[in-house]
Amino acid sequence: MTSMPRGCYEPWGVFRKPLPPNMKVSDYLREFETGGLRRYTEDLPFEDVIVSERTPQHERMIAGHLSIKPQSFLRRIVYASLPLGAGMVADPFMGSGSTIAVAEAIGLCGVGVERYKDYYDMARVAIPRLKRLEIPAVDLSVGAQKVLF
């Protein structure tokens, strides 16, 4: 468990079971349709650190949840988490619904669960508004190559 002051780094981890012996990630993807991360471009590996902006004020105005994440960050994470571009995003602690809004914004199915009624009610209003936001492209420049996501 970690607790950090607002505006500081928040570590996220992506975990999976170890690959079976003699199996590559590509083999695992073909057999189980999961277990890898989708690259933003075939020419670049998935990066180890994803820098995120602070959640913009206009997003906080839509959903006043204490820990709402920026749509620009979540769109990259959700995109990468379904390596074959298909599947379902599950958010067991939905809060403001920002992850579900991202899933819908990029054409995926999302299911969220929220224990607290006030957050659930917030999410019902916020999800349609958040998913319609125009998010500026992220510049993934590497050397002379420039990729926008």
Instruction: Tell which residue, 64, 76, 57, has the closest CA to residue 118.
Output: 64
Q: Give 64-109 pLDDT, tens digit per residue.
A: 898 899 999 899 888 888 888 888 999 999 999 999 999 999 999 9
pLDDT of residue 3: 53
Total H helices, total E strands in the chain: 5, 2
pLDDT of residue 10: 65
Does residue 15 have a pLDDT over 50? yes
Does residue 142 have a pLDDT over 80? no
pLDDT of residue 148: 46
| Choice between 110 and 8, residue whose per-residue pLDDT is larger | 110
Q: For domain 25-131, is the CATH number 3.40.50.1470?
A: no
- Cα–Cα distance, 149 to 131 (Å, whole number): 16
The confidence band for 143, taking pLDDT boundaries of 50, 70 and 90, is: very low
The answer to whether 141 and 148 have CB atoms below 8 angstroms apart is no
**What's at 112, amino acid-wise?**
G
Report, as an integer, the average pLDDT of 128-141: 79
The residues spanned by each domain of the chain are 25-131
pTM score, whole prediction: 0.78
Does residue 144 have a pLDDT over 50? no
Q: Give 1-12 pLDDT, tens digit per residue.
A: 445 455 556 667
